[in-house]
Chains A and B, each alone.
Chain A
Amino acid sequence: MQIRSPAFKANVSAALADERLQKALEFTRPAFPSRRAAAVADLPEFEQLRDIGRDIKNHTLANLDFYLEIYAANVERAGGIVHWCSTADEARAAVLAICEKAGARTVTKGKSMISEELGINAHLEAHGITPVETDLGEYILQIRNEGPSHIIAPAFHLNRNDWEESFRKVHTDLPADRVFNERRDILTEARTRLREKFLAADVGITGANFLIAETGSSVIVTNEGNGDLTQTLPRVHIALASIEKLVPTLEDATSLLRLLARSATGQDFSVYTTFSTGARRSEDLDGPGEYHVVLIDNGRSGMIGTEFQEMLRCIRCAACMNHCPVYFTVGGHSYGWVYPGPMGSVLTPSLIGVDQAGHLPNASTFCGKCESVCPVKIPLPKLMRHWREHEFERHLSPSAVRTNLAIWAWFAMRPQLYRIATRIGARVLGWLGRKKGRLSSLPLAGGWTAGRDLPTPEGDTFFARYARLQREGKL
């Protein structure tokens, strides 16, 4: 996928000016948190499960090399083939080789973020193989040649007219005067069209939510059933999985599954949770004759042993972005690559470099909501701060930022001067907003005040008030 993260600021300006996008964000924003909250309230053990989820992932990462070897041996025992790939290039080549060997002309695909990361579709197309995205959201994005704007609701930024317009453009064999009265009509047309694709495909490619060492299984979680049709009907199934998807046992996967759907869509459990183990058995009446796992590193191993190792616990539920004020202001496309929101702001610099993605960890208010909802307790704000430090140390931050930081640091290291300066600042701001108690415009911060007012200081600084209350014996 093309990297547009360096243009984050321009992307954001465009997103803020995009009324359609802003409407979609406003519409969707309340839904995710309220659904998750209801599911969590219904499971008193949820907080304990978060600790368990964190511990399972930490245990696996601390022994990842060992469990990967066990996993691969068990896949092969069940008649599957594991393709170890260090880089995106190797993974693309492995997928293409499997497809070519199978004589594939069309390939159906379940939703997979790692497939976006690798750019599988473009690679297959360049070699004369037609990939067909089958998740509804991914299907329309493929038609429109757009990337996903969210990791579990990839097309929520589009409205009904967008769907209708795109379907009329590509489904040209259907009557031009057909009517789309409701969402169901759009769904039915997609269902019919994709059913033909499922039946015709030679190879099916899915991602994997988990890999299980004990059994050599890959697990996918979907609501539509497209992932299961993708991995059941074609002759060949390829599961794309990055190395950190691994857990040791079925029981470990089960505990994480109790967290996943609740954190993601607010469901107690997704509709289809499917464990695939090897190829079709001789007595089976259906299922793929070949089962391949393309096991991908692509930068993950480099995070192990660093301050970013904790990011490898991520189970891609999207709770962090669903609760992020920044994400719901700028939308997913602004982040400029595959992974948006807080998890993307930590993961993207790890995978494509902080020189490319340095803006992302800066695009946070550090409100901490992401960490508080993360099912595996990844300290996302702390990790974003680490990236800011790296960026600063490598002199990648813009000179205005560095100058301002230097000015602030100069004062911060001289407490007397700092207190005088903040007192002057608080008084000036307080005087400016003395009538309304808030400021609706500020020099050099027009963008900030365009969307909200700044409450004015009441005249005192924190230090002054703290000292006063202490004197008065109130602390």
Chain B
Amino acid sequence: MSKDTILNAIRRGLKRGPLPEDQALGLRARMAAHPRHLIPARSRIDRPGQIALFLRNIEKEFGTFTRVPDLDAIPEAVADYLTANNLPSDFAMAPHPELAAIPWSNRPLLTQRPGRAQASDLVSLQHGYAAVAETGTLVLPAAAVRPTTLNLLSDTFMVVLRASRVVGAYEEAWDLLRAENRDERSGGFMPRNVMLVTGPSRSADIESTLELGAHGPRRLHVVLVDDDPAAFA
């Protein structure tokens, strides 16, 4: 069997048989502890600094953002963004309770269609699970309430993110997922898919020159909800 062929060939190269049990125990302990390595100092700063770093990196990566005080302010922020960019007012929206709780009726001209994205959707609105200040990266684990297609199929990708969910480094986002997520299928914490998204889609394949909007969204817009008192400078 190929599995044995491969494992035996590796062991031959390593000049040993199967790993002795005491060493295997050590490796299992390392996996269980999943130690962090060096975390760059750039994100080891206070909360206001982390939020500022996150927003700076969003812009560095060709994204845009609006900062709003609470959920009530989201419909207006979304409507303004769509109007300013000449975009349609209907969009596919993640069926997440936090997004459903937004008072959309304040802006009756906006139409939300909760569910996964369809190929014809021009605009989508996703629920941001968390974000990493270090590189301006959105953390989007797949779930029934956070379909993956919303991240990919639309031309304009909007994400509602709470400031309290902005962490400094990737490792801190993994810790959130490890602590909060339970996957029925595997018994672990990883859902089917976790997308880390840093800016809108792009390609430099044509004459080594950067163009935005290759296969995924051409625009990325973050609506940051200031729910974190510690995050105010």
Which A residues fall within an 8 A CB radius of B? 27-28, 31, 43-45, 48-49, 52, 56, 62-70, 72, 74, 77-79, 84-86, 90, 134-137, 140, 153-156, 158-160, 163, 183-184, 186-187, 191, 194-195, 198-199, 213-217, 223-226, 228-229, 232-233, 243, 248-252, 254-255, 257-258, 265, 267-281, 283-287, 291, 295, 297, 301-306, 309
Q: Which residues of A contact B196 (CB under 8 A)?
A: 269, 272-275
Task: Return the contact of A223 from the options B13, B19, B95, B203 (Cβ within 8 A).
Answer: B203
Contact present for A63 and B40 (CB under 8 Å) = no
Q: Which residues of B contact A297 (CB under 8 A)?
A: 2, 5-6, 9
Whole-angstrom distance between the alpha carbons of A56 and B95 in the complex?
39
Contact present for B197 and A70 (CB under 8 Å) = no
- In angstroms, how far is the closest chain B Cβ from the Cβ of A390? 17
Contact with A along B4-48 (1 / 0, CB 8 A): 011101111111001100011001001100111110111000000
Known contacts A223-B214, A229-B152, A232-B152; is A137 also within 8 Å of B205 by CB?
A: yes
Contact present for A199 and B119 (CB under 8 Å) = yes
Contact present for A186 and B193 (CB under 8 Å) = no
Contacting A at CB under 8 A, from B179-232, are 183-209, 211, 213-217
Whole-angstrom distance between the alpha carbons of A295 and B152 in the complex?
27
* Nearest opposing residue in chain B for A137, CB measure: B205
Task: Return the contact of A228 from the options B61, B148, B209, B213 (Cβ within 8 A).
Answer: B148
Q: Which residues of B contact A56 (CB under 8 A)?
A: 37
Q: Which residues of B contact A137 (CB under 8 A)?
A: 203, 205
Q: Which residues of B contact A281 (CB under 8 A)?
A: 144, 183-185, 191-192
Contact present for B174 and A183 (CB under 8 Å) = no
**Main secondary structure on B side of the interface with A:** loop
Q: Which residues of A contact B143 (CB under 8 A)?
A: 283-284
- B128: interface (CB < 8 Å): no
Q: Which residues of B contact A63 (CB under 8 A)?
A: 19, 23, 27
Query: 7 A-B Cβ contacts within 8 A?
Result: A49-B38, A62-B14, A224-B205, A251-B171, A277-B188, A297-B6, A306-B13
Task: Return the contact of B215 from the options A156, A194, A243 (Cβ within 8 A).
Answer: A194
Contact present for B40 and A45 (CB under 8 Å) = yes
Closest 4 CB pairs of A and B: A225-B216, A304-B13, A305-B13, A224-B214
Known contacts A224-B203, A255-B37, A274-B195; is A268 also within 8 Å of B7 by CB?
A: no
- In angstroms, how far is the closest chain B Cβ from the Cβ of A275? 4
- B57: interface (CB < 8 Å): yes
A224-B201, A305-B15 known; 18 new pairs, CB 8 Å cut-off, are: A78-B186, A153-B205, A158-B207, A217-B190, A228-B148, A232-B193, A249-B30, A268-B134, A271-B197, A271-B199, A271-B200, A273-B195, A274-B196, A275-B196, A281-B144, A281-B191, A287-B142, A304-B9
* Nearest opposing residue in chain B for A140, CB measure: B205
- In angstroms, how far is the closest chain A Cβ from the Cβ of B188? 6
- In angstroms, how far is the closest chain A Cβ from the Cβ of B93? 12
Q: Which residues of A contact B57 (CB under 8 A)?
A: 268
Contact present for B41 and A274 (CB under 8 Å) = no
Contact present for B211 and A78 (CB under 8 Å) = no
- In angstroms, how far is the closest chain B Cβ from the Cβ of A58? 12
- In angstroms, how far is the closest chain B Cβ from the Cβ of A154? 8
Q: Which of A214, A225, A304 has the most CB of B within 10 A?
A: A225
Known contacts A224-B215, A283-B144; is A77 also within 8 Å of B188 by CB?
A: yes
Task: Return the contact of A77 from the options B35, B152, B186, B213 (Cβ within 8 A).
Answer: B186
Q: Which residues of A contact B34 (CB under 8 A)?
A: 214, 249-251
Contact present for A302 and B9 (CB under 8 Å) = yes
Contact with A along B115-153 (1 / 0, CB 8 A): 111010000000000000011010000111001110111
Whole-angstrom distance between the alpha carbons of A217 and B30 in the complex?
17
Contact present for B216 and A228 (CB under 8 Å) = yes
* Nearest opposing residue in chain B for A141, CB measure: B205
Contact present for A274 and B194 (CB under 8 Å) = yes
* Nearest opposing residue in chain A for B42, CB measure: A43
* Nearest opposing residue in chain B for A216, CB measure: B186
Our count of residue pairs bridging A and B at CB distance below 8 angstroms stands at 283
Whole-angstrom distance between the alpha carbons of A156 and B209 in the complex?
10
Whole-angstrom distance between the alpha carbons of A59 and B134 in the complex?
27
Q: Which residues of A contact B3 (CB under 8 A)?
A: 72, 84
Task: Return the contact of A278 from the options B6, B186, B198, B204 (Cβ within 8 A).
Answer: B186
Contact present for B211 and A84 (CB under 8 Å) = no
Known contacts A214-B34, A268-B135, A269-B198; is A232 also within 8 Å of B214 by CB?
A: no
Task: Return the contact of A269 from the options B36, B135, B208, B213 (Cβ within 8 A).
Answer: B135
- B65: interface (CB < 8 Å): no
Q: Which residues of B contact A223 (CB under 8 A)?
A: 201-204, 214
- In angstroms, how far is the closest chain B Cβ from the Cβ of A179? 16
- In angstroms, how far is the closest chain A Cβ from the Cβ of B41? 7
- B104: interface (CB < 8 Å): no
- In angstroms, how far is the closest chain B Cβ from the Cβ of A158? 8
Known contacts A254-B174, A273-B196; is A301 also within 8 Å of B6 by CB?
A: yes
Q: Which residues of A contact B201 (CB under 8 A)?
A: 223-225, 271-272
Known contacts A195-B215, A302-B13; is A224 also within 8 Å of B202 by CB?
A: yes
Whole-angstrom distance between the alpha carbons of A272 and B171 in the complex?
17
Q: Which residues of A contact B2 (CB under 8 A)?
A: 84-86, 90, 297
Whole-angstrom distance between the alpha carbons of A48 and B137 in the complex?
23
Q: Which residues of A contact B202 (CB under 8 A)?
A: 223-224, 271
Contacting A at CB under 8 A, from B70-108, are 95
* Nearest opposing residue in chain A for B197, CB measure: A272
Whole-angstrom distance between the alpha carbons of A421 and B100 in the complex?
86
Known contacts A45-B40, A248-B30; is A78 also within 8 Å of B183 by CB?
A: yes
Contact present for A248 and B27 (CB under 8 Å) = yes
Q: Which residues of B contact A277 (CB under 8 A)?
A: 183, 186, 188, 190-194
Contact present for A286 and B148 (CB under 8 Å) = yes
Q: Which residues of A contact B183 (CB under 8 A)?
A: 78, 277, 281
Q: Which residues of A contact B30 (CB under 8 A)?
A: 248-249
* Nearest opposing residue in chain A for B141, CB measure: A275
Whole-angstrom distance between the alpha carbons of A83 and B14 in the complex?
23
